[in-house]
Amino acid sequence: MSNNPQQKTPDRIPTRGENFSEWYIETIRKADMADYTVVKGCMVIKPYGYGLWENIQAGLDKRIKATGHENAYFPLLVPESLLLKEAEHVEGFAPECAWVTHGGGSPLEERLAIRPTSEAIICSIYANWVRSYRDLPILINQWANVMRWEKRTRLFLRTSEFLWQEGHTVHRTHEEAREEVLRMLEVYREFLENELAIPAVPGRKSDAEKFAGASETYTVEALMQDGWALQAGTSHDLGQHFAKGFGIKFLDEDNTEKYAWQTSWGVSTRLIGGTIMTHGDDKGLRLPPRVAPVQVVVIPIFKAGLEGALKEKLGQIAKDLRAQDVRVREDFRDNQRPGFKFTEWELKGVPVRIEMGPRDMENNTVAIVRRDTGAKEIVPVDAIVETVKRLLVEIQAAMLAAAKAFRDENTRRPANYEEFKTLLDEKRGFLLCPWDGTAESENAIKNETKATLRCIPFDGGEAQPGDVDIYTGRPAVARALFARNY
């Protein structure tokens, strides 16, 4: 934001139609959510952006604990020898690892990876914890940072260091582990829909797209306004791969020693990027009320001699709203015009704005403006709390409905490969297509169009009689969702 006093409007951001990528970055920076740092590929999450993450974290953490999980914390540094115990895992993450080779100025005997994910370090610890079937299940989650040495970065979506939660569980049977994998995927889907107003498609990843070291990976895929997909969360059936690599064994009730079954699952700060790209408009952010750091901003329209009275009146309104657990910010700055403030808080995506000027004060009313639609209504002061609470619910529902409508309108079923390519170039979006289940067709489509197989959706992913692969023409085994993706 410019610091010029009495500026009429904040600096303009590009429109989505002009340049969606530039719109995204400039919206984040001008809304004061995050910025670049002197550390290549890393970002600073500023208080407004971190406030959104805190609300995401709180809502998800509550759900994770409700399913019987507990939080813990594991080391940041992973010895290379532990990573090498699971060759498939190392192959998947080795190019992204950042290594610590010196400590206190002296070379280390063994280099340490800054965790790209925590399976290796956690499995080495679980091997010491598990002895009997009575020790199972282990249901642990951690909130942490990880590092993946990305070559191309973008704020929130792909940075070298980012924040996330990662669940790591151990089970007696594969059936129990699989139930865990699908349970947590549903937690993510429900959270995305009800808190972030993002309608995500749950499904199974192809072998080519699954997590390194997993038997199966499940995902929730969201569609952004530019027609590109975003992997919003994943849940992995790790089988016994890590258990065998790290010796996680237990004596079962039948007095035989068995390897355990494991899962891992996680979401990250890329959910912030997904929220921005799902809901933002050409004015900037539009944040769902349930996670918005500020749900209501209160702005006086000053007139000489009435400044004190307006502040007092609006201060009481803010106090009454806070008493109902509404997150409120008063903007009583006297060096900016009301129009500047209106535009600035629209850019920040605050769901509801309350305005009061001299005439409003005389009539004992306020003007209440919705960020999602711009609709304004005049409300008596004694009806403000009730009106605001109603509007926050209505706005949340309206944002979800709009996002669902966009996703459905932009999910298409091409009749052949030529139409597939045309739709991908001209309209983008999700393309639901018959697939023969082979890496051959999946890789050919990716190489020719840059579209990846996002998932085989739980709903609508079954092959129908007569279905043939969109690329090879061979009999299809499923219907898969393709899209270009972040």
In a domain, 254, yes or no: yes
Neighbours of 155 (CB within 10 A): 23
The domain total for the chain is 3
In a domain, 189, yes or no: yes
Secondary structure (DSSP) of 273-314? HHHHHHH-BTTB----TTT-S-SEEEEE---TT-HHHHHHHH
Q: Are residues 247 and 123 in the same domain?
A: yes
Q: Are residues 421 and 356 in the same domain?
A: no
Note the pTM of the prediction, 2 decimals. 0.95
**Burial grade of 297 (CB within 10 A; 0-12, 13-18, 19 or more):** buried
CA distance 219 to 184: 10
**Peptide linkage before 202 cis (omega within 30 of 0):** no
Q: Are residues 376 and 424 in the same domain?
A: no
| pLDDT for position 9 | 57
| pLDDT for position 25 | 97
Tell me which DSSP letter residue 459 carries. Answer: T
Which CATH number characterizes residue 115's domain? Answer: 3.30.930.10
| pLDDT for position 85 | 86
Q: Are 168 and 115 in contact (CB under 8 A)?
A: no
| pLDDT for position 1 | 45
Map residue 160 onto helix, strand or coil. coil
Residue-number span of the structural domain to which 459 is assigned: 411-483
In a domain, 50, yes or no: yes
Q: How far is CA 461 from CA 19, 34, 229, 423, 455, in A?
A: 33, 38, 17, 20, 9
| pLDDT for position 3 | 46
In a domain, 400, yes or no: no
Tell me which DSSP letter residue 8 carries. Answer: S
Per-residue pLDDT of the chain (486 residues; tens, 9 = 90+): 444 445 555 678 999 999 999 999 999 999 999 999 999 899 999 999 999 999 999 999 999 999 999 999 999 999 999 988 877 776 777 778 999 999 999 999 999 999 999 999 999 999 999 999 999 999 999 999 999 988 889 999 999 999 999 999 999 999 999 999 999 999 999 999 999 999 999 999 999 999 988 999 999 999 999 999 999 999 999 999 999 999 999 999 999 999 999 999 999 999 999 999 999 999 999 999 999 999 999 999 998 889 999 999 999 999 999 999 999 999 999 999 999 999 999 999 999 999 999 999 999 999 999 999 999 999 999 999 999 999 999 999 999 999 999 999 999 999 999 999 999 999 999 999 999 999 999 999 999 999 999 999 999 999 999 999 999 999 999 999 999 999
